[in-house]
Amino acid sequence: MARRAYDHRIRELVCVTGDLTLARALGVPVRTAQSWLRRGTPEVVSLEDGGDGAPALRLAETLAQLARLEGDVRRLRAVVRLLATVIGVFGLQLNGQRLPDGAQKLALLAALQRVARTASLTTALRLVGLSATRYRSWRRRSVLCELDDRSPCPRRRPSRLTASERAAMKDFVTGEEHRHMPLRALALHAQRAGRVFAHVSTWARLVKERGWRRPRVRVHPTRPTAGVRATRPGELVHIDVTLIRLLDGTRAYLHAVIDNYSRRILAWKVAAKLDPANTCAVLAGAAQEIQALRDAGAGPVETQVYADSGVENVNRDVDALLETCPLRRVLAQVEVAFSNSMIESWWRSLKHNWLFLHSLDSVAAVEKLVAFYVEQHNSVMAHSAFRGATPDEVFFGHADAVEPGLVEARRKARADRIAWNRALECNQCHGLKPPTVAEEGQEAA
């Protein structure tokens, strides 16, 4: 409750007359008037001009100083509001966070105590998100030198490693002569050498905490950044088989052929067992698709078939089929330019984006799901490598008009979006006008 203040002349009048009715008529409570009568009339120092102008001059200086202080208070309030807003927006709170360093805790406690001299400690704790219980706990622990989560005082933990032992551990971990040893063997080797007698878990903890890096950079051959790429549809295809586990524990095998240039699935087949006849069936289907391109004058003379060395791809049946078709088999390898990674990537997309989202309880269910995804992949799903064209459009030569149409559509959509947003107004900008040059200069000053 705010304390009420009264003019000193009212108090003097009540004390001289002793009339409580007069005090009640002037709006003074009876208890306050009785208190005035008990304490008597106080001495009042007036700042009225006594003739030489000194009291009035002091009053003017006081008012000027008061105005400056009020301006400082307004600026400080604005800064505090800004800091509180930044803390609230970016979530700079101590709720649920640990502050293990004792020096940081001491600095925060000192700052809170400075704030408590002029403002409410509860407000300061709420601002930084520190509970009163945690604050009191830190105050108690600061007296006992226990603010650190792991106390730096050696006397409190006499069994901790010494500085020389930690330095020896660092030399062992980061030294070139010991980089071939695993950490467990390194800990035992340090004990055999009489340098450090510590458990391997202590070694692992210090390595993690202090960021010691072992000089064990592995040297790998340079991997190709891009695999083999065809220059026209039907020039190069990939064939592979993947295993799909069903809910009852049985397996289904999916054979597929993908065109390297267009990423189009040319042929596929789901079977309950791994049979070379299935490889021959998908190769024959792919050969028919490519032959249709040749008949239209767009296909290559010979097609390379990239396959791994599995038994389903290297057998007498496949060899006999390749002799009757213009197909030449190339055995793909791992992490080389002519790998089979393109169809492996398609297996991953098929399984994780579609098959694994359904109950695979039978070969028929898998075949139905694969048929849907192949149709979507070939004719619906646009490929980023083709600037928005589908594999079917690329395979059949209809992709040239796709990218210009998308560019024009994006340009028009952006223009429509800008026009729509500029036509709207929010509650804040409604009725406002941009500042003039003079107003901007005044604001900068």
pLDDT-derived band at 8 (thresholds 50, 70, 90) equals confident
Rounded-to-integer distance, Cα 284 and Cα 323, Å: 12
Rounded-to-integer distance, Cα 369 and Cα 352, Å: 13
Is 51 a residue whose pLDDT tops 90? Answer: no
Helix (H) or strand (E) holding 255: strand 251-259
R_g of the chain, CA atoms, integer Å: 42
Residue (of 211, 202, 168, 170) closest to 184 by Cα position:
202
pLDDT-derived band at 265 (thresholds 50, 70, 90) equals very high
Token digits of residue 127? 């601002």
Whole-angstrom distance between the N-terminal and C-terminal Cα of the chain?
Answer: 41
SS3 217: coil
42-to-5, 13, 190 alpha-carbon distances in Å: 14, 12, 85
Do the beta carbons of residue 331 and residue 324 sit within 8 Å? no
pLDDT at site 125? 80
pLDDT at site 324? 87
Percent of the residues in the chain that have a pLDDT greater than 90, as a whole number: 37
**Which residues, including other chains, have CB under 8 Å from residue 387's CB and lie 6 or more apart?**
402, 403, 406
pLDDT at site 152? 55
Rounded-to-integer distance, Cα 15 and Cα 41, Å: 6
Residue (of 31, 13, 12) closest to 22 by Cα position:
13
Rounded-to-integer distance, Cα 103 and Cα 253, Å: 63
Residue (of 269, 261, 207) closest to 238 by Cα position:
261
pLDDT digits (tens, 9 = 90+) for 385-431: 888 999 999 999 999 889 999 999 999 999 999 999 888 877 666 55
Highest-confidence segment of 89-98, 140-149, 291-300: 291-300
Residue 128 CA to its chain's centroid (Å): 23
**Residues 372/375/376/380 CA torsion (nearest 10 deg):** -150
Q: How many CA atoms lie within 13 A of 245 on its CB side?
A: 2
Is 374 a residue whose pLDDT tops 90? Answer: yes
pLDDT at site 431? 55
SS3 429: coil
Q: 236-381, which class in CATH?
A: alpha beta
Number of C-beta neighbours around residue 189 at 10 A? 14
Do the beta carbons of residue 254 and residue 268 sit within 8 Å? yes
pLDDT at site 109? 81
Q: How many CA atoms lie within 13 A of 328 on its CB side?
A: 7
DSSP assignment of 55-87: HHHHHHHHHHHHHHHHHHHHHHHHHHHHHHHHH
DSSP assignment of 339-367: -SHHHHHHHHHHHHHTGGGS---SHHHHH
Rounded-to-integer distance, Cα 433 and Cα 425, Å: 12
Token digits of residue 151? 């106390």
Is 49 a residue whose pLDDT tops 60? Answer: no
Average pLDDT over residues 151-172: 79
